[in-house]
C-alpha cells in the first residue's frame, strides 16, 4: 500500500514539474493544443451535419404514427394508391379516431423548383397535398405565422425551414405551381422535423393541378398507441385488397436518413483521421522537445530515486492534459460554430431538399474528446519511453 | 586497526572494476581493474584530469551506472547486481547527490527542492517539513526557504543542493565537482560546509574535483589517471 502511494506521489510530483514548466515551452505547447483542437473541431463539425440531419428526420416521426406505402416502394416518390385503398387503410383497426373520423391522411407528393436563398440556384422542394387529419397525425405541428390554407383553395402553407432556405416563401408571396401562382398564407413549425422542409396544400387541389385524378402516394396515420402498430400492420398486410408496406414513421425517417448520414460520417472520419496523423506528429514534437528541455531535470529525479515507470506515466499524463485541453477547445469551437447552424441538403430517397440544423450532440463532444485522448496517448508514449531510458549519468551533464 | 575492524568499518568496496564504453566499433576503457575502499565517516577526494574516469567511478559508487566487470559493494549491498528498479530504491535510501550545476528544479522553491527526496519516503507532510527545515538550517539558508533558484546566487543554489543531498540523512554523500561552477569565495563556503558535515555530523563524503584547493579539504585524496589509481595522499 505504502509502495503504491509512494509511486503515485512520484508520478504526481513529476507531472506537476512538467505542467509548471509549460510557460517556458509555450510556443510548442500552443501549436500542439491548437493542432488537436483543429482535429476535434473538424471531426465534431463534420459529424454534426450527419447528427443534425438524422435528428431532423427522426424528430419527424413517433412510434405511435405509421406511414403506409405501396409494397416495394422505398419512398413516397414511387408509391401510389387509389381512393378506395386509402379508405381501407384509414378504417383499419388500430388507427386513432376523433369526432371527425380516423386520424389518417392520404397524401400526395410532388416536387417544385425554387431558388435557394444562399446560392440562388434551383433546388427541388417538396409540395405535399394533405387531408384534414394531417395536422393531428403529426405531433407538434403548428401554424406559427399567418393562417392555415383554406380547404379547396389554391393556397399553401410553408414549413419554417423551407421558408428560411428558399426564396419567395414568405407569407403574402406566391409560389408557382404548374402554370398558376398560389399564395403563401402561413408558415408552420413541426419540432424541427422534416415536414418543416415542405410546402403543404389541400390534396384535392394538388391532384387537380397535377392531373392526378383521385390518386395518392401515401397514408399517414396516428395509432391508438405504439403497441397498436402490430395490429394495424397485420390487418393491412393480410388484407387481400391491399398490397402495402407498413412502417412506423420513426423507422421510415431513420431509413431515409441512413444513406446521407453514413456518407457524412465516413467522410468525417477520413478527414479527421488524416488530420489526426498530423496532430500526433505535433504532439510527438512537443513532447520530444519537453523531454529534451528537461533531460537534466528528469535525470536528476531519477538519480534521487524516482522510478522510470513514474517518469513514463507522468509524461503521458502531461501529454494527455495538453491533448484534453486541445480537445476541449476544439469541442467548444465546434459547438460555438456549428451547433444549430441551418442548412439544406438533398434527401436522396425523395430527391427533394431537407432543411435541418447541425447538431453538436453530447455524444459527438465525447467522441471528439476520445480522439484527443488517443492523439495525446500516441504522441506522449515514445517521448516518455525515451526519457525513461536515457542513461542517467550522461543525462545529468546535459545543459 | 585490525582487518576485521577495517572490514566492519568499510562503507564502499570497489573490486577490480572495469568500465568500457563503446563508440561504434571502438572500445574505450574508462576504468581498468580499479579497486578502492572507503571507510565510514571518511571525506575522500577523487582527483584527476578530464577523462581520467573519476566521475565514472563516482557514478558506479552511486548506482547511476554499472561496471562492465568487477564488483561494487556499498553499505553491504552488491549494487552491480541490482535491477534498475532496485537501484532507484537503493539510491533513494542510501545516497545523497550534489551536482556541479546544482540540478535544482527551477519551478520549485528552495524548500520544495529540498523536499524532493523525501517524497520517496513514507514520511508525513509535517515530518517532511521538519526535515526540510533542519536541512536548510544546516546549510544556513532558512531565510531563503521560499525563494526560487533563479533568485539565488550560485553559492546559495549549491547550498540548497547540499541540503537536498543530506535531507534524507543518506549513508553516503556523493559530490561531483561541487565547487566547479563557483567563484573562490562561494567555493570555500561550500567546502567549509562539506567539511563540517563530515567532521561534526560524521557524514561519509566522496567528492570528485580537479581543484587541488578543494581536495586539500578532504581527509584523503586519491588520484586517477587513465582509469587507474595512481597516487594517494592523506591530509
Task: Indicate the residue of A20, A302, A391 with minimum beta-carbon distance to B88.
Answer: A302
Tell me how far apart the 2 most distant CA atoms of chain A are, in Å. 94
A282/A39 Cα distance (integer angstroms): 12
Among B151, B156, B174, B10, residue whose Cα is nearest residue B77: B10
Residue numbers in B near A6 (CB within 8 A): 120-122
Q: How far is CA A26 from CA A21, A33, A320, in A?
A: 9, 10, 16
Whether B125 maps to a domain, the answer reads yes
Mean pLDDT calculated for residue range B59-88:
94
Shortest distance between the Cα of B55 and any Cα of chain A, in A, equals: 9
Best interface-test mutation with B: which of A10, A304, A387, A390 has the largest number of B CBs within 10 A?
A: A304
Residue B122 and residue A301: Cβ atoms within 8 Å? no
Mean pLDDT calculated for residue range A313-338:
91
Task: Tell whether the model's pLDDT for residue B8 goes beyond 70.
Answer: no
A335/A129 Cα distance (integer angstroms): 37
Q: What pLDDT was estimated at residue A251?
A: 83
Mean pLDDT calculated for residue range A77-106:
92
Which pLDDT tens digit goes with each residue over B149-164?
A: 999 999 999 999 999 9
Last residue of a domain, one of A207, A242, A277: A242
Mean pLDDT calculated for residue range A306-316:
88
Contact predicate B119/B106, CB 8 Å: no
Which pLDDT tens digit goes with each residue over B106-148?
A: 889 999 999 999 988 888 889 999 999 999 999 999 999 999 9
Are residues A193 and A280 both part of a single domain?
Answer: no
Mean pLDDT calculated for residue range B174-197:
93
Whether A121 maps to a domain, the answer reads yes
Indicate the range of A185-189, A194-198, B35-39, B46-50 predicted with least confidence: A194-198
Mean pLDDT calculated for residue range A19-32:
83
Chain B residue with CA closest to A16: the answer is B107
Mean pLDDT calculated for residue range A53-68:
79
Mean pLDDT calculated for residue range A113-129:
88
Q: What pLDDT was estimated at residue B74?
A: 96
B82 interfacial to chain A (CB closer than 8 Å):
no
Whether A107 maps to a domain, the answer reads yes
Angle at B15 between CA B14 and CA B19, to 5 degrees: 80
Mean pLDDT calculated for residue range A173-178:
88
Residue A304 and residue B105: Cβ atoms within 8 Å? no
Range of the domain at B58: 41-64+87-234
Last residue of a domain, one of A209, A242, A275: A242
Mean pLDDT calculated for residue range A378-395:
86
Which pLDDT tens digit goes with each residue over A202-226?
A: 999 999 999 899 999 999 999 999 8
Confidence tier at A349 by pLDDT (50, 70, 90): low
Residue numbers in B near A296 (CB within 8 A): 101, 103
Task: Tell whether the model's pLDDT for residue B5 goes beyond 80.
Answer: no
Shortest distance between the Cα of A307 and any Cα of chain B, in A, equals: 6
ipTM of this predicted complex?
0.92
Percent residues over pLDDT 90 in chain A: 37
Residue numbers in B near A392 (CB within 8 A): 59, 64-65
B105/A125 Cα distance (integer angstroms): 68
Are residues A218 and A364 both part of a single domain?
Answer: no
- The phi, psi pair for A377, rounded to 5°, reads -65, -45
Task: Say which CATH number the domain at B134 has.
Answer: 3.40.50.300
Whether A64 maps to a domain, the answer reads no
Percent residues over pLDDT 70 in chain B: 96
Question: Which residues lie across from B20 on neighbouring strands?
Answer: B29
Q: What pLDDT was estimated at residue B110?
A: 96
B115 interfacial to chain A (CB closer than 8 Å):
no
Mean pLDDT calculated for residue range A1-25:
81
Whether B28 maps to a domain, the answer reads no
Helix (H, G, I), strand (E, B) or coil at A66: strand
Task: Tell whether the model's pLDDT for residue A53 goes beyond 90.
Answer: no
Looking at the structure of chain A, the number of domains it has is 2
Q: Is A367 left (phi over 0), alpha (psi -120 to 50) or beta?
A: alpha
Residue B120 and residue A308: Cβ atoms within 8 Å? no
Question: Which residues lie across from A245 on neighbouring strands?
Answer: A69
Whether B21 maps to a domain, the answer reads no
- The phi, psi pair for A90, rounded to 5°, reads -65, -30
Helix (H, G, I), strand (E, B) or coil at A110: strand
Q: What pLDDT was estimated at residue A39?
A: 86
Range of the domain at A41: 2-58+256-397
Mean pLDDT calculated for residue range A159-164:
90
Whether B9 maps to a domain, the answer reads no
Task: Tell whether the model's pLDDT for residue A61 goes beyond 80.
Answer: no
Are residues A130 and A237 both part of a single domain?
Answer: yes
Whether A63 maps to a domain, the answer reads no
B102/B180 Cα distance (integer angstroms): 10
B17/A395 Cα distance (integer angstroms): 23
Return the higher-pLDDT residue of A397 and B62.
B62
Mean pLDDT calculated for residue range B59-67:
95
Looking at the structure of chain B, the number of domains it has is 1
Whether A262 maps to a domain, the answer reads yes
- The phi, psi pair for A333, rounded to 5°, reads -60, -45
Return the higher-pLDDT residue of A267 and A327.
A327
Are residues A378 and A351 both part of a single domain?
Answer: yes
Which pLDDT tens digit goes with each residue over B79-115?
A: 999 999 899 999 999 999 999 999 999 889 999 999 9
Are residues A40 and A109 both part of a single domain?
Answer: no
Q: What pLDDT was estimated at residue B145?
A: 96
Mean pLDDT calculated for residue range A35-47:
87
Are residues A52 and A133 both part of a single domain?
Answer: no
Are residues A53 and A83 both part of a single domain?
Answer: no
Mean pLDDT calculated for residue range A137-160:
91
Stated as kind and residue range, the H or E segment containing B22 is: strand B10-23
Are residues A146 and A26 both part of a single domain?
Answer: no
Among B55, B33, B93, residue whose Cα is nearest residue A394: B55
Residue B120 and residue A2: Cβ atoms within 8 Å? no
Whether B13 maps to a domain, the answer reads no
Whether B33 maps to a domain, the answer reads no
Are residues A13 and A89 both part of a single domain?
Answer: no
B93 interfacial to chain A (CB closer than 8 Å):
yes
Whether B72 maps to a domain, the answer reads no
Are residues A268 and A211 both part of a single domain?
Answer: no
Are residues A78 and A53 both part of a single domain?
Answer: no
Confidence tier at B1 by pLDDT (50, 70, 90): very low
Are residues A223 and A262 both part of a single domain?
Answer: no
B83 interfacial to chain A (CB closer than 8 Å):
no
Whether B102 maps to a domain, the answer reads yes
Amino acid at each position: 500500500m505504502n509502495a503504491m502511494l509512494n509511486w503515485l506521489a512520484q508520478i504526481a510530483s513529476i507531472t506537476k514539474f512538467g505542467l509548471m514548466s509549460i510557460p517556458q515551452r509555450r510556443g510548442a505547447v500552443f501549436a500542439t493544443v491548437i493542432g488537436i483542437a483543429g482535429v476535434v473541431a473538424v471531426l465534431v463539425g463534420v459529424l454534426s451535419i450527419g447528427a443534425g440531419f438524422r435528428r431532423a428526420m427522426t424528430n419527424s416521426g413517433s412510434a405511435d404514427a405509421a406511414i403506409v406505402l405501396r409494397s416495394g416502394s422505398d419512398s413516397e416518390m414511387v408509391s401510389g394508391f387509389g381512393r378506395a385503398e386509402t379508405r381501407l387503410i384509414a378504417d383499419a383497426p388500430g388507427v386513432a379516431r376523433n369526432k371527425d373520423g380516423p386520424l389518417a391522411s392520404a397524401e400526395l407528393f410532388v416536387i417544385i423548383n425554387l431558388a435557394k436563398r444562399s446560392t440562388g440556384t434551383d433546388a427541388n422542394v417538396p409540395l405535399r397535398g394533405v387531408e384534414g387529419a394531417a395536422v393531428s397525425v403529426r405531433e407538434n405541428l403548428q401554424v406559427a405565422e399567418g393562417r392555415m390554407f383554406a380547404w379547396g383553395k389554391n393556397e399553401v402553407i410553408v414549413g419554417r425551414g423551407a421558408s428560411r432556405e428558399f426564396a419567395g416563401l414568405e407569407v403574402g408571396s406566391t409560389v408557382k405551381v404548374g402554370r398558376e401562382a398560389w399564395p403563401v398564407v402561413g408558415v408552420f413549425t413541426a419540432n424541427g422535423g422534416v415536414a418543416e422542409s415542405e410546402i403543404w396544400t389541400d390534396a384535392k387541389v394538388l391532384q387537380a393541378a397535377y392531373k392526378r385524378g383521385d390518386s395518392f402516394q401515401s397514408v399517414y396515420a396516428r395509432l391508438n398507441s405504439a403497441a397498436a402498430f402490430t395490429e394495424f400492420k397485420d390487418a393491412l398486410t393480410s388484407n387481400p385488397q391491399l398490397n402495402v408496406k407498413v412502417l412506423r414513421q420513426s423507422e421510415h425517417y431513420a431509413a431515409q436518413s441512413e444513406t446521407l448520414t453514413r456518407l457524412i460520417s465516413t467522410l468525417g472520419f477520413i478527414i479527421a483521421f488524416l488530420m489526426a496523423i498530423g496532430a500526433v506528429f505535433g504532439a510527438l514534437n512537443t513532447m520530444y522537445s519537453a523531454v529534451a528541455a528537461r533531460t537534466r531535470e528528469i535525470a536528476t529525479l531519477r538519480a534521487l530515486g524516482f522510478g522510470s515507470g513514474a517518469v513514463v506515466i507522468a509524461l503521458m499524463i502531461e501529454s494527455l492534459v495538453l491533448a484534453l485541453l486541445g480537445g476541449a477547445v476544439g469541442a467548444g469551437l465546434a459547438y460555438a460554430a456549428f451547433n444549430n447552424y441551418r442548412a439544406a441538403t438533398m434527401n436522396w430517397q425523395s430527391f427533394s431538399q431537407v432543411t435541418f440544423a447541425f447538431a453538436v450532440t453530447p455524444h459527438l463532444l465525447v467522441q471528439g474528446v476520445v480522439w484527443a485522448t488517443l492523439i495525446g496517448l500516441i504522441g506522449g508514449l515514445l517521448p516518455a519511453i525515451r526519457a525513461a531510458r536515457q542513461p542517467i549519468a550522461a543525462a545529468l551533464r546535459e545543459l | 586497526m585490525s582487518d576485521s575492524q577495517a572490514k566492519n568499518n568499510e562503507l564502499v568496496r570497489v573490486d577490480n572494476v572495469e568500465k568500457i564504453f563503446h563508440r561504434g566499433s571502438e572500445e574505450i576503457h574508462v576504468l581498468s581493474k580499479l579497486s578502492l575502499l572507503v571507510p565510514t565517516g571518511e571525506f575522500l577526494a577523487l582527483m584527476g584530469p578530464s577523462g581520467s574516469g573519476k566521475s565514472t567511478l563516482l557514478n558506479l559508487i552511486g548506482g547511476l551506472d554499472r561496471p562492465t566487470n568487477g564488483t561494487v559493494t556499498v553499505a553491504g549491498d552488491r549494487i552491480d547486481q541490482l535491477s534498475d528498479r532496485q537501484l532507484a530504491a537503493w539510491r533513494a535510501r542510501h545516497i545523497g547527490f550534489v551536482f556541479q550545476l546544482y540540478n535544482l528544479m527551477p519551478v520549485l522553491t528552495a524548500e520544495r527542492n529540498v523536499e524532493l527526496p523525501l517524497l520517496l519516503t513514507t514520511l508525513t507532510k509535517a515530518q517532511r517539513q521538519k526535515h526540510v527545515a533542519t536541512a536548510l538550517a544546516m546549510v544556513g539558508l532558512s531565510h531563503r526557504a521560499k525563494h526560487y533558484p533563479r533568485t539565488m546566487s550560485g553559492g546559495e543554489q549549491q547550498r540548497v543542493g547540499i541540503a537536498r543531498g543530506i535531507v534524507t540523512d543518506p549513508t553516503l554523500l556523493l559530490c561531483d565537482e561541487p565547487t566547479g561552477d563557483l567563484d573562490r569565495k562561494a567555493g570555500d563556503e561550500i567546502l567549509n560546509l562539506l567539511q563540517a558535515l563530515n567532521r561534526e555530523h560524521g557524514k561519509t563524503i566522496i567528492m570528485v574535483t580537479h581543484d587541488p584547493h578543494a581536495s586539500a579539504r578532504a581527509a584523503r585524496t586519491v588520484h586517477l589517471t587513465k582509469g587507474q589509481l595512481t597516487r594517494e595522499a592523506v591530509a
